[in-house]
Chain A
Amino acid sequence: MSGYFGSYGVVLALFVIGVAIVAGALSVNRLLRPHRPTPEKLLTYECGIDPVGADWAQSQIRYYVFTYLYVVFAVDAVFLFPWATVFAAPGFGMTTLVEMFVFLGFIALGILYAWRKRVLAWT
């Protein structure tokens, strides 16, 4: 329980306790519940009548472009965190401020480009 990774001991312990809570709830349920499966019960629920078609349906995922946008911007945003803690430290000042506006400019340009390409609207 010492050193840099020692502080993560509490986090690890909490994770283990969380797993225990979920497992405990499920095993209490196992002791108390009835178990009478019927084919009707195990059918996929759609609206009360028999399901139509198979469970693997084809559908168009219209918002996959947002995933690309997210990956691009989130990678940028991660770099903000180490920078955020030191940017106002003595000796940085105006230089980092100008750098910040360059950074924001790039992100804003990216969003503007996506908007002009009309990928932010429903297609």
Chain B
Amino acid sequence: MAGVLDAAVRLVGIIAVFLVLPLVAGQTEHKVMAHMQARLGPMYAGGFHGWAQLIADGVKFVQKEDVIPAAADRRVFALAPGVALIPYLVVMAVIPVGPGLVGVDLDVGLFFVLAVMGVGVLGSIMAGWSSGNKYSVLGGMRSAAQLMSYELPLVLAASSVAMAAGTLSLPGIVEAWQWWWLPWQAIGAVIFFVAGLAELRRPPFDMPIADSEIIMGPLTEYAGIRFALFMLAEYAGIIVVSALTAVLFLGGWHGPLLPGPVWMLIKVFALVFVVIWLRVSFPRLREDQLQKLAWVGLVPLALIQLALTGVVKVLAG
């Protein structure tokens, strides 16, 4: 009974984080981009700093007509937003925010995270294929190609941390973390973060939804609440990738003075800020540049990081 109650409290916590943090990240993106690019639109609704924009968006999305094009494969088309969103919620079960503060401590946590995150991209591929729109298919294919290319550096960088910690459990990794891992795993951290961004199809890796070229890629035919679910998936993905980078490479809840969960939150939002900053500062990578960056840049660098981790670990330990 106590076990069930304990699990229920943890679930409520995860759901609260899942429903609040992505919206905060979205709101932050509005405002940070508005400041960086001197945009007036996002600062208007509701008066002070456009605080009501998010609520207005929500009200609009929820009462829009649900249009499924005649050419679409209805069932797959309707399922795709759920397939894109739910994996990020499930991943949150194993991300620790403090000592003992984790949904469930799986002994294959890291492996589980990488496996489940890959499923999220399927939503985008399903959307592209089922829309019955040529631009959607192109976008879906690009999503698939991007997943293929960036999954490998992501896995290699993550396994470098697993080697350093000697465990695949995420709380175990954070407990084993020492400050000197920062320089030791620096290459891996950059690779993991960049590959994570690419897997989320965030700018500058947004070739699959390149709006000036293929309209909106897989999302072209989506409107209303289904489109909103895709957007929510994107922001939940940003939170998950930032949190994983913080857990694996930045020491999670470790930090002086402040309590652990506060440090975790600070690190996550610092990374979210970087994600937004990158979107504002970099032009979109062309499809071939995108593939080249993964195979010629990130994968060899990840192999170097693995060698470095192995040598230091065996010689020092």
Smallest CB-CB separation from B14: which chain A residue?
Answer: A14
Whether A87 contacts B7 by the Cβ 8 Å rule is no
Q: Is B38 an interface residue (CB 8 A)?
A: no
Q: Total A-B residue pairs with C-beta atoms closer than 8 Å?
A: 213
Whether A121 contacts B168 by the Cβ 8 Å rule is no
A53-79 interface mask toward B, CB cutoff 8 Å, 1 = contact, 0 = none?
101010101010011011001100110
CA of A41 to CA of B68, assembled, Å: 9
Q: Is B103 an interface residue (CB 8 A)?
A: yes
Smallest CB-CB separation from B216: which chain A residue?
Answer: A45
Query: In chain B between 255 and 304, which residues have their CB closer than 8 angstroms to a CB of chain A?
Result: 287-288, 291-292, 295-296, 299-300, 303
Q: Given contacts A42-B70, A122-B288, is CB(A97)–CB(B310) below 8 Å?
A: yes
Q: Which residues of B contact A36 (CB under 8 A)?
A: 65
Bin chain A's interface residue count: 35 or more
B194-233 interface mask toward A, CB cutoff 8 Å, 1 = contact, 0 = none?
0000000000000000000001000011001110110000
Whether A18 contacts B133 by the Cβ 8 Å rule is no
Bin chain B's interface residue count: 35 or more
Q: Is B117 an interface residue (CB 8 A)?
A: no
Which of these, B15, B67, B148, B303, contacts A107 with CB under 8 Å?
A: B303
Whether B111 contacts A13 by the Cβ 8 Å rule is no
Q: Is B57 an interface residue (CB 8 A)?
A: no
Whether A14 contacts B71 by the Cβ 8 Å rule is no
Nearest Cβ on chain A to B39's Cβ, whole angstroms:
25
Q: Is B152 an interface residue (CB 8 A)?
A: yes
CA of A13 to CA of B296, assembled, Å: 41
Whether A121 contacts B90 by the Cβ 8 Å rule is no
Whether A115 contacts B90 by the Cβ 8 Å rule is no
Whether B314 contacts A67 by the Cβ 8 Å rule is no
Q: Which residues of A contact B132 (CB under 8 A)?
A: 44, 55
Q: Which residues of A contact B174 (CB under 8 A)?
A: none
Whether B313 contacts A88 by the Cβ 8 Å rule is yes
Which of these, B133, B138, B167, contacts A55 with CB under 8 Å?
A: B133
Whether B82 contacts A29 by the Cβ 8 Å rule is no
CA of A74 to CA of B149, assembled, Å: 10
Q: Which 6 A-B pairs have the closest CB atoms?
A: A122-B288, A18-B86, A29-B225, A55-B132, A70-B148, A10-B104
**Can you name 12 A-B pairs with beta carbons within 8 Å?**
A18-B82, A19-B82, A19-B86, A21-B89, A26-B225, A33-B63, A45-B69, A55-B133, A59-B134, A80-B306, A97-B310, A108-B300
